[in-house]
Amino acid sequence: MFRYTSGSLIREIGVWILAIVFLLPFYFLISMALKPDAEVYTTSSLALPLNPTFNNFSSLFVASGQSNILLGLMNSIIITAGSIFGLIILGSLTGYVIARSTRRWGKATYYLFLIAIVLPAQLGAVPLYIGARTIGLTGSVWGMIFLYTGMLLPLAIFLYAGFLRGLGTEYEEAASIDGASRWQVFFRIVFPLLAPATGTVAILCGLIVWNDFFTALIFLGGSANQTLPVSMYYFIGSLVSKWNVIFAIVIVSMIPILAFYLFAQKRFIQGFAGGLKG
Amino acid sequence: MHSGTEANTVAGQQHRTPGPDRKTRSRRARGVVGFGHWWWALPGVLVVLAIHYVATGVGGFFAFTNWTGIGSFQLVGLANFQKILGDPSKILALGNTLFLAFGSVVIVNIVGLAIALALNRTLKSRYILRVLFFMPVVLSPLAVSYIWKFIFDFNGPINAILKSVGLESWQKSWLGDPTFAIWAVLIVIVWQQTGFAMVIYLAGLAGVPTEVEEAAAIDGTTLWQRFWHVTLPAIRPAVAISTTLGIVNGLRVFDQIMALTNGGPAGATETLATQVYKQAFSLANFGYGAALALILSAIILVFAVIQQRVTRGTES
């Protein structure tokens, strides 16, 4: 049974006080989002709303055009899901071939991907934008899925290859001897074994795509297919200090990822702690 | 194809019966078991070559041109770089980038390690606290920055607190103050990244055997000695990962600036990343923007190489 000593009790209280101060921004966020227009400047920013209202949230659903938050939410979901799908397919196949290859090019290709992880995106963004504009891929959902898949593929391959190196080849050999084709070996035997790595790829890469602002602003800014961060940026830019409405937008943008995080917090934290160690 | 594979397997098995021969076994593993086909990697390799290597190479080329994004361009040699070095606002952006990267890394890692040490092992509510401290990490930097923009607002909570304790003369528009604005950006980054460092350190601390610490405690060492001589050396890989990832990400700070200050007041919070965006995409100075991006990339690559060295050094 757990018993407090005086030392651990003080430490526990101290950490909780720190946690409460640390989480104060969320109190301001929720409190302000529930205030009616009249209370934004008349009440103290520290106070709870006198007449809490959900009007700020319902006002988001009538906004249209560039600052349509719901449309942004939809686009973000489609683009994130599509990118994760592409990363899992391409990442697992490429990672598998590289991790199992005994030849020299396998090692060389691995380093090709390793260097690409640290290669900063800013320099390539300019020519990529020109290229995408020339072939009409800017402002397109498919173009964005392709771009994100390519941008995060080195990370996905790195995670898959690292996981595969710790995985013995016995199952594959057994299946192969039993007459399974190479495709069957991969999809029936290897891919299911990769599930933990697939989870890490989905969480890490999905989070990067979902929260990305720089690339989305360049490639989707001003189009009808803006993701959530971009439409949030434009919407808030059009609101001058209407903090109650701004915070309603911020809360709507946070709900999907927070719900997902609290639901799968263990996988999230493990993914971050283990996945990035490499 | 399929029947051929089977026939080879049978042949291999027959061959093996007289006695296990290492050479045939390895040939079987490679040629018959066949871990996929080499061309499965082809789409991935081509996509990465195009999106990472070709794009970066072409971007590097534009850094030496005066292209505006449309029409023709000329090679201008090092003119873009001379212009950058001669422009105080770009030097300020470079300084801000380094300040934010290193400032955030120092604070984030000290605070993150302190929280990890406090939460490690003995605390009853450590799981829920870990979830709470990590929460900002998963949020979008843009959304987080809007919350803090309000906190730093003239009508925001900081000034309200100052007023309630009678320090009304200290009130100001924090993000509108040229000296304080960059510190405000730093605070936002620290608030969001501390949970990440904490999680890396918790994973590192989980690998420190309790016996060593207990043995040191029995030998009469102080808490500080134990931390300095036992715990810290054991978690050195975690320190290397956390600090280098923090620096590489800190050098790219973009979202927070765009949301909090848009580079203002009067360029006091511009970074290299915001300048790349503004020059290349808002002002259509593609060549000049590419030159800024090349400088940013070179700085990031230098730190990435240092990271490789440091992590390798701690492993051996």
- Whether the CB-CB separation of A238 and A59 falls below 8 Å is answered with no
- Whether the CB-CB separation of B139 and A254 falls below 8 Å is answered with yes
The answer, for B53 touching chain A at a CB cutoff of 8 Å, is yes
Q: Which amino acid is at B2?
A: H
For the cut 90, the answer to whether the pLDDT of residue A272 exceeds it is no
Which carries the bigger pLDDT value, residue B5 or residue B266?
A: B266
Residues 128-147 of B with CB under 8 A from A: 129-135, 137-144, 146-147
Mean model confidence pLDDT for chain B: 82
B56 in a domain, yes or no? no
Q: Residue B177, SS3?
A: coil
B265 in a domain, yes or no? yes
* Confidence at residue B301, expressed as pLDDT on a 0 to 100 scale: 85
- Burial pattern A44-62, b for ≥16 Cβ within 10 A else e, equals ebeeebeeeeeebbeebee
| Domain co-membership, B132 together with B249 | yes
Average the pLDDT over A77-98 and give the result: 93
Lowest-confidence segment of A26-35, A221-230, A242-251, B215-224 by average pLDDT: B215-224
Lowest-confidence segment of A67-71, A134-138, B94-98, B277-281 by average pLDDT: A67-71
The model's pLDDT over B240-261, given as tens digits with 9 standing for 90+, comes to 888 888 888 899 899 999 999 9
For the cut 80, the answer to whether the pLDDT of residue A225 exceeds it is yes
* Confidence at residue B11, expressed as pLDDT on a 0 to 100 scale: 37
| Domain co-membership, B3 together with B121 | no
Q: Give the C-alpha separation, B289 to B279, whole Å.
A: 5
How large a percentage of chain A has pLDDT more than 90? 27
**Residue range(s) defining the domain that contains residue B30:** 1-35
Q: Give the C-alpha separation, A154 to A85, whole Å.
A: 15
Contact B137 A254 (CB under 8 A): no
Cα of B8 vs its chain's centroid, Å: 49
With CA atoms as reference, report the closest residue to A123 among B164, B184, B64: B64
* Confidence at residue A29, expressed as pLDDT on a 0 to 100 scale: 92
B191, two tokens: 């608030």
With CA atoms as reference, report the closest residue to B254 among A2, A271, A122, A97: A122
Q: φ, ψ for residue B124 (rounded to 5)?
A: -70, -45
Q: Quote the minimal CA–CA distance from A94 to chain B in Å.
A: 4
Confidence of residue A251 (pLDDT cuts 50, 70, 90): very high
For the cut 60, the answer to whether the pLDDT of residue A79 exceeds it is yes
Lowest-confidence segment of A68-77, A80-89, B23-32 by average pLDDT: B23-32
For the cut 60, the answer to whether the pLDDT of residue A10 exceeds it is yes
Vertex B113: Cα angle to B109 and B117 (nearest 5): 175
Q: Select the residue of B40, B55, B60 nearest A97 (Cβ to Cβ).
A: B40
The model's pLDDT over A166-193, given as tens digits with 9 standing for 90+, comes to 887 888 888 888 888 888 888 888 899 9
Q: Give the C-alpha separation, B267 to B278, whole Å.
A: 12
Bridge partners of B75, per DSSP, are: B65
The model's pLDDT over B92-102, given as tens digits with 9 standing for 90+, comes to 999 999 999 99
- Whether the CB-CB separation of B248 and B303 falls below 8 Å is answered with yes
Q: Give the C-alpha separation, B100 to B190, whole Å.
A: 10
With CA atoms as reference, report the closest residue to A257 among B5, B142, B256: B142
Q: Give the C-alpha separation, B244 to A100, whole Å.
A: 30
Contact B51 A182 (CB under 8 A): no
For the cut 50, the answer to whether the pLDDT of residue B7 exceeds it is no
Q: Give the C-alpha separation, A133 to A135, whole Å.
A: 6
CATH code for the domain in which residue B270 is found = 1.10.3720.10
Residues 47-86 of A with CB under 8 A from B: none
| Domain co-membership, B20 together with B87 | no
Angle, helices A141-165/A121-134, rounded to nearest 10 degrees: 140
The answer, for A104 touching chain B at a CB cutoff of 8 Å, is no
| Domain co-membership, B17 together with B162 | no
| Domain co-membership, B13 together with B129 | no
Cα of A5 vs its chain's centroid, Å: 41
Average the pLDDT over A224-236 and give the result: 88
B24, two tokens: 């045939």
Confidence of residue B20 (pLDDT cuts 50, 70, 90): very low
The answer, for A136 touching chain B at a CB cutoff of 8 Å, is no
Q: Give the C-alpha separation, B63 to A123, whole Å.
A: 9
Residues whose CB is less than 8 angstroms from the CB of residue A22 and which lie 6 or more positions away in sequence, other chains included: B132, B133, B191
Q: Select the residue of B34, B47, B146 nearest A250 (Cβ to Cβ).
A: B146
Confidence of residue B313 (pLDDT cuts 50, 70, 90): low
| Domain co-membership, B216 together with B287 | yes
- Whether the CB-CB separation of B13 and B32 falls below 8 Å is answered with no
| Domain co-membership, B103 together with B218 | yes
| Domain co-membership, B115 together with B227 | yes
Q: φ, ψ for residue B75 (rounded to 5)?
A: -75, 130
Q: Which amino acid is at A138?
A: T
Average the pLDDT over B40-48 and give the result: 88
- In chain A, residues with a C-beta closer than 8 Å to the C-beta of B54 are 127
| Domain co-membership, B30 together with B150 | no
- Whether the CB-CB separation of B139 and A269 falls below 8 Å is answered with no
Q: Select the residue of B47, B132, B143 nearest A232 (Cβ to Cβ).
A: B143
For the cut 60, the answer to whether the pLDDT of residue B28 exceeds it is no
Q: Quote the minimal CA–CA distance from B70 to chain A in Å.
A: 9
User: What domain count does chain B have?
Assistant: 2
Contact B119 A128 (CB under 8 A): no
Q: φ, ψ for residue B65 (rounded to 5)?
A: -125, 175
B110 in a domain, yes or no? yes
Contact B38 A274 (CB under 8 A): no
| Domain co-membership, B189 together with B284 | yes
- In chain B, residues with a C-beta closer than 8 Å to the C-beta of A226 are none
For the cut 90, the answer to whether the pLDDT of residue A146 exceeds it is yes
Q: Give the C-alpha separation, B192 to B240, whole Å.
A: 19
B185, two tokens: 């950006």
* Confidence at residue A63, expressed as pLDDT on a 0 to 100 scale: 62
Lowest-confidence segment of A17-21, A66-70, A79-83, A121-125 by average pLDDT: A66-70
| Architecture of the domain defined by A65-275 | Orthogonal Bundle (1.10)
ipTM entry: 0.88
Which carries the bigger pLDDT value, residue B278 or residue B307?
A: B278
Q: Give the C-alpha separation, A152 to A139, whole Å.
A: 19
Which residues in chain A are classed under CATH 1.10.3720.10? 65-275
The model's pLDDT over B109-150, given as tens digits with 9 standing for 90+, comes to 999 999 998 887 777 788 899 999 999 999 999 999 999 999
* Confidence at residue B19, expressed as pLDDT on a 0 to 100 scale: 41
With CA atoms as reference, report the closest residue to B9 among A185, A251, A97: A185
Mean model confidence pLDDT for chain A: 85
Average the pLDDT over A231-249 and give the result: 85
| Domain co-membership, B106 together with B28 | no
B51 in a domain, yes or no? no
pTM of the model: 0.86
Q: Which amino acid is at B273?
A: A
| Domain co-membership, B161 together with B277 | yes
Contact A120 B38 (CB under 8 A): no
